[in-house]
A and B are shown apart, each in its own frame.
Chain A
Amino acid sequence: MSTNTEGPPVTRDHEPTQVADDGMEVIARTQGQMVLRRFLRHRAAMLGLGTLLFIVVLAYTSIGYGPFGGWWDKSFLRTGTVLDGGRPTLFTEGFALGEHPFGQDNVGKDYFALVMRGTQQSLVVAFIIGIVTTLLGTLIGAAAGFFRGRTEAVLMRITDAMISVPTLIFAAIVAAVFGRTGIVFLGIALGVVTWTGLARLVRGEFMALREKEFVEAARAIGTSNWRIITKHILPNTVGVIIVTATLAIAAGILLETALSFLGLGIQPPDVSLGSLITEYQTAMVSRPWLFWWPGIFIVAIALSVNFIGDGLRDAFDPRQNRVRD
């Protein structure tokens, strides 16, 4: 290397490989991978996910669903002789399920089968509520946040009006009308009254994102509104939507329970966790297990879904490990 004034070495202007390779050694993970990594590290979320999976698998494999049979031979509809006052046989003889692990009701129905059926129905309703809420909330929030002006004013006044009526009253009216038409319609109907929270969040996200320079860049290129919404803004709101949808599912389970408790949800002879509690609330003192089993399942499902939601939120929004400078 020369040291005279005449010929110091020369840096090349464009060194593509060189330039781009620097600063690249650290992270070469996609955002999705980072979110997943943080989610998998979230203890509560993992516990919730495990519990939920266990409950789902248990509910659907035990008594089967639709045409598929399960490993549990008793039906939730068949009555029978009440053995031992209907007391649960679970773990009474070591680690065995026994004849009626969760006991029997007063007409001898197997309570394990009933709780499993109730869990299935509650989960179905909750997921339908989650899906409907997500679709409606996203659509309405996106439209309001992106177009602003009159569209926004109309949509948000509707949202405000719906929020001002307690969800339970709204849901009770809807359920009274649609409750008898089956759980799918019940789920859809309930979804229609619970989208407001998500719509507000999505609107907020859209309002913030539409002012971002990358959206302006898209507009400068001449990108259509539809393409800006679907390709540029929506992918950036996925985190918020997923988290809120998860929490909406948890709320949906409780909403269905509350309605069934009021006698407005799932109609007999079918059962949900909520309707089981209602039906056997009078047995609270004499045969408490009829109250406890569905209760435990409701709490377990709602908690685990909430934990998953928290985990997702922390994974999508890692405000903690920022380093200054």
Chain B
Amino acid sequence: MVILVLVVITAVAFDFTNGFHDTANAVATSIATGALKPRVAVLMSAVLNLVGAFVSIKVAATIAKGIVDPKALESNAGLSLVFAALIGAIIWNLITWYFTLPSSSSHALIGGIIGATLVASGAHAVMFHGIAKSVIAPAILSPIICFLVAGIGTYVVYRLMRLITGAEAVRGYRYGQIGSAALVSLAHGTNDAQKTMGVITLALIAHGSISASHFYVPLWVKLACACAIAAGTAIGGWRIINTMGNRITEVESPQGFAAEAASAAVILSSSYYGYPLSTTHVVSGGVMGAGAGRKLESVHWNVAGQMVTAWVFTIPAAGVVAAATWEIARVFGANSTAGTIVMAVLAAAAAAGLFTLAQRSKVGATDLDRTHVSPEREAQLGTAPAVA
């Protein structure tokens, strides 16, 4: 029972990190263009993530499906495995947050599950073909598709905007960005909060509290996950928002709108056709595409390269941390409560250490606020479409 409680607490903590790590996906470009005040943007996103978490539980039902053998997740061993996976995902989320790199929380969780399963049950319990099909292929294709869609949208929009003044375009697209950011936030809530719901439900099945043949997500699990991701989002992952909104390329309102519209379209159409994907990868591809659609050299490819490197390492790195967690906990006895408690304390200490280190290069909401720049001023500065 103690291990189950620790797994639930750790899952909620992961959901919280998922929230502040992924806030940037929905609101970074709206903040960067001055469409929304930073705090207003993250609060709006938090509320919509909360709402999105209740829209559907179909994602929750598919977590780990096709990735590892379901038998590996049964009984007490399954509980310890899920715990190790969550620790791997949390630590990698915090490391990438410290280095201000947008990376996929979903991939971190999948990497954690794979790493823990490899050491707990062996390679035969890992479904490599399923991983290639449902994780790797979408991870490669989705940012490319979003890059192209956002790039084409931006290119055409900038040709159209020659027919009106730059200030009109900036003002109009700033309004549009509020809607597009809201849609991405809602889509994020429907995907990511439910992954944690799925993890907790798996733990409850492993513990025997829920029958595997009658899968359902208890209301308290839905509430806990929805509140955790909303709280994490409301905190505002300013470090990653800064990277996504300002460091990949200088985003203007029409570009921000095109990037968000493309991201929402790719996320929702892929989900509709049964391809779960990382919102981080999609939105990053969209921002790069929007930059390239205006001017290819306006994209800071070195920053993009750092991000892609982090994406490549996400699954292996989270897997290594999860595997180490599993092995260290085993020193105290197989599936022991003591080992789980020790690892929970060590992980909390590591998280506190990273948070303390991050305070040395703190980025806050006021640093990112651009709402004081009027559309007319933005047009004059040349960071808006050509004036007619």
Partners in one complex: no
